[in-house]
Structure 1
Amino acid sequence: MKPDYDLIKQAVYARQEDFFAGLKEVMQINSVKADSTEDAPFGVGPKQAVLKALEIAESMGFKTKMVNNAMGYAQWGPDSSDYIGVFGHLDVVPEGTDWDYEPFDLTEDNGVLYGRGVLDNKGPIMSNLYALSVLKELGFKTTKTVRIVFGSDEESGSADIPMYLEKEPAPLYGYTPDCKYPAVYGERGVVGIDIVTTFSDDSLNQIQSFVGNFDRSSIPDTLDVTLATGEIIEVRGKRSPSNAPDMGLNTITLFAKNSTDEARFTGELATYLSWLADGFHDKHDGSGIGAGFSDEDSGSLQLSPYELNLTENQAILSLSIRYPISVTEEEVLEAITSHLVLDSELIARRRMKSTVFDRHHPMLKTMQKVYENCTGQDGTPVTTTGATYARSMPNIIAFGPSFPGQKGIAHNKNEYMDVSDLMKNMEIYALTLAVLMA
């Protein structure tokens, strides 16, 4: 039986007030990863957020379960190990500074919702819970089981996934609402590397301290450098997510470029900074260091320097690299190694191979049709530079929540989502689930 689109859409928007009230409860929990405890492996906050979501799900009449204190799920349908899974996360990155709104709350201002996690990923995964609740209240008859699964460690490596899979089977198929539209059938490979350069002279002594807001998830936008002379150089850029370096202004490479242009330093430090400026500043595709790979499905390689640490005789540059699905990690590292400077060593710290889902799977056809119906936009499946639960959880892909053209929002201050966009997500997810469950 074909779902009644108009009826579902009407019911979705009738739940807006209720949805935002429940989302606000989850948003008010500081769920940044913290020290592990006996019953909270990723800190008390992330677990509390999961428990709150399960409490809301129970009030809707769903079966709920906490798995290994790491993930929890709300289930509707026949009690079976064969299920459609929707996997989102309630942990968030640190709030950062200079917010105009309370980070750990849900604030609406002129049709826009603000708060840490409203986009990444509390808003989207909670919209799926409420979408499922809408179908339940409409008396929708399902032949398949659906689980809305709430994670607590996606931002720090997805260690919650293997803990879930210790106790529960993987889904037959499903998605994570933690990327973009249309449906994402492939995610690029990711490798995090350190380039350790050892200096044979004492030129690093020209810098007394080198302090920036370095974090793997973002392009740094502040850097304070104290020289041996006592002079302080303040470098200010523009913060952006590490998977959108072109939207930011990286203070590491900006400092290198300015220092090289002004011939500020001498010796091997000058050589190093010139290499850093020439190879990385505004060259986000890896072409500056011999790694300009690309393919038709993925586009160009993406490279993000996110940290530079200086010691007495070493510089350690940390990079996050997202490479096309047709390219191997070995090819990327070999290319970069051949373009190192001075006495340098490349060390791989973090590895995630690319993942590709069957483009002809019926689920993707459903997603394309629903997305096109709800938005009037092309729903042809795409690939992404992001890293989601789809890399760790078998049989799922990424689907939403960001619409084409929406980038660089998730990890910044004043993280936001338009009311209309969040409700459009709930509409898309409700109709998608209705078709998949029928």
Structure 2
Amino acid sequence: MIIGKEIHKYRDAIIAGISELVQIKSIKATPEPGKPFGAGVDRALQYMLQLAESLGFEVTNVDGYAGHAEYGQGEEIAAVLVHLDTVEEGEGWTFPPFGGLIENGKIIGRGASDNKGPSVVALYALKTLMDLGITGSRRLRLIFGTNEESGMRDLEYYFEREQLPVMAFAPDAGYPIFNVEMGSMNVVFSSEQESASTKPQLTILSLKGGNMLTLIPETCTALLSLAQLTDNQVADFHDAVNLQTNMSFVYDDEGRLVLTAGSEFLADCLTGSRNAIVNMVAFLRGQGLTTNWDPFLHFLNEKIGAEKSGQSLGIACSDSESGALILFLRTISCDLHRAESLSNIRYPVSHDGAGILSTVAGLAGTSGIHTELTRHLLPVYVPENHPVIVRLSRAYKKMTGDEAVLLRMGAGTYARKLRNNGVAFGAGLPGGVDTHVHQADEFVFIDDMMQHAEICLQGMYELWID
């Protein structure tokens, strides 16, 4: 039975719901009683639970961590998992980031595509199934998460208290089906020091680059004192900067040099660019001048640098399911007393994250650098014969006419919390446009969201019916 197109009767309601939900600034904030991730996130959760209740569903709020709406009967649960929290708005917007503006066939605002649009769609898909009066063989549950963007502690709490689905999907990536999510670790390297006993030739007063919104740092800025350099060394330093196509400098009012590095496109690089932090570190190490952070910069340059394989860290590995390990240098922050840099390690599903971390920490320790694991998402691997793959593949082919190719990703979705019983399925269409997820002017095309709605509804039906 093909029912996907039935959802179009709710097109206007979906548009209004997405716009209203986007207007709620649901960014993680200071916890409050019953609001573990702040008042804004809780408002978004309350909005969706109240909307679901108004549509005729029984709803449950699990202590503000997550909630759900449910339809049907049975011992087992099939589920769709969405999240209502967003990353911070960031800078560079030309539209109000929480305006929910509807313009030129788009809904614009933070969360429009990640993941508030799919959240509203999934609710109206559930409503469509209720309207059709179809009887499924299990309960069908829509789970509203609130902490996907900053740790997924919401679902850890939720599944300690609620039944785990036997099959589920998260419409928080793209089509067709992502059955592999690589293990993902955020690792912070740090070093501390008191005032140096001898003056370095080049003093790094501060060094900053990257942020947690973007994977590839676009800029990195160093504030430098050249007071210990001779005039000839200063001239040579200026010449060296001018030879770089992606670097520039100015002097501030106190006579300190402000050096800025950008990213550089590399056709043979996995990420498409050599990031700005890598460029800055390599440049500072390449001038033959002592700095106040030599051991730290040496480690980053020699053991990570522009490599993405982890070879110099001794952690390069791969498997047939997920491919090779990928390493990203994401942020750096230094002042006169502390230096730290965050790296993201994405490892194959058949390998051990604890072993990889042990190798990295041991090597960093030989350079006097401390290692801290700040986040670890375990890998996901759902084999192609798993019922959730079979059923979602059937739904995808019914609605598109295409076979559902199985894909892999390094990023993470709520599939990480489903113990290999769920996958990422939607909402981005194959060959679709860049909707500026985690960037300024995030948006979703309404027609694209409705095309996703057809597939989402059919997918929910296939999970529900035997």
Deviation at 1:183, TM superposition (A): 2.1
* Kept in 1: contact 2:277–2:332 (CA 8 A): yes
Deviation at 1:100, TM superposition (A): 1.9
Structure 2: segments with no counterpart, 5+ residues: 227-255
Instruction: Indicate yes or no: 2:118 matched with 1:124.
Output: yes
* Kept in 2: contact 1:202–1:313 (CA 8 A): no
Give the letter aligned to residue 90 of structure 1: L
Measure, in 1, the Cα distance between the counterparts of 2:431 and 2:200: 44
Instruction: Indicate yes or no: 2:407 matched with 1:415.
Output: no
2:203 to 197, 203, 206: 206
Give the letter aligned to residue 308 of structure 2: H
Moved more, 41-50 or 212-221: 212-221
Alignment of 1:12-411 (within 5 A): 12-78=7-73, 80=74, 82-197=76-191, 203=200, 206-215=203-212, 218-229=215-226, 230-237=256-263, 246=271, 250-261=275-286, 263=287, 265-267=289-291, 269=293, 272-273=296-297, 275-277=299-301, 279-312=303-336, 314-337=338-361, 340=364, 342-394=367-419, 395-404=421-430, 409-411=436-438
Deviation at 1:269, TM superposition (A): 4.2
Give the letter aligned to residue 125 of structure 1: S
Measure, in 2, the Cα distance between the counterparts of 1:397 and 1:408: 22
CA change 1:413–1:202 in 2 (3 A) is farther
Structure 1 counterpart SS, 2:113? coil
* Kept in 1: contact 2:173–2:425 (CA 8 A): yes
Moved more, 204-213 or 159-168: 204-213
Give the letter aligned to residue 396 of structure 1: G
* Kept in 2: contact 1:187–1:383 (CA 8 A): yes
Moved more, 112-121 or 151-160: 112-121
* Kept in 2: contact 1:120–1:178 (CA 8 A): yes
Q: Between the two proteins, what is the percent identity of the paired residues? A: 28
Structure 1 counterpart SS, 2:280? helix
Instruction: Indicate yes or no: 2:451 matched with 1:427.
Output: no
Moved more, 46-55 or 134-143: 134-143
Give the letter aligned to residue 63 of structure 1: E
Deviation at 1:12, TM superposition (A): 2.1
Deviation at 1:268, TM superposition (A): 6.9
Deviation at 1:281, TM superposition (A): 4.4
Structure 1 counterpart SS, 2:114? coil
Measure, in 2, the Cα distance between the counterparts of 1:264 and 1:428: 59
Q: Deviations over 1:356-408 (max 9, x none)?
A: 23432222111112223333444133332122222224433222222445679
CA change 1:204–1:152 in 2 (3 A) is farther
CA change 1:153–1:257 in 2 (3 A) is same
Structure 1 counterpart SS, 2:16? helix
Larger radius of gyration: 2
Structure 2 counterpart SS, 1:119? helix
Deviation at 1:429, TM superposition (A): 1.0
Deviation at 1:110, TM superposition (A): 3.7
Q: Deviations over 1:271-309 (max 9, x none)?
A: 654653455444333245443322221122122222222
TM-score norm. by structure 1 comes to: 0.87
Structure 1 counterpart SS, 2:316? coil
Deviation at 1:116, TM superposition (A): 1.2
CA change 1:196–1:234 in 2 (3 A) is same
C-alpha RMSD over aligned residues: 2.9
Deviation at 1:323, TM superposition (A): 0.5
CA change 1:45–1:267 in 2 (3 A) is closer
Deviation at 1:67, TM superposition (A): 1.2
Measure, in 2, the Cα distance between the counterparts of 1:285 and 1:376: 37
Measure, in 2, the Cα distance between the counterparts of 1:216 and 1:154: 13
Structure 1: segments with no counterpart, 5+ residues: 239-243
TM-score norm. by structure 2 comes to: 0.82
Moved more, 229-238 or 115-124: 229-238
Measure, in 1, the Cα distance between the counterparts of 2:301 and 2:398: 47
Structure 1 counterpart SS, 2:281? helix
Deviation at 1:34, TM superposition (A): 0.3
Q: Deviations over 1:81-114 (max 9, x none)?
A: 5321111110011010001222113334444433
Measure, in 2, the Cα distance between the counterparts of 1:204 and 1:272: 16
Measure, in 1, the Cα distance between the counterparts of 2:112 and 2:305: 32
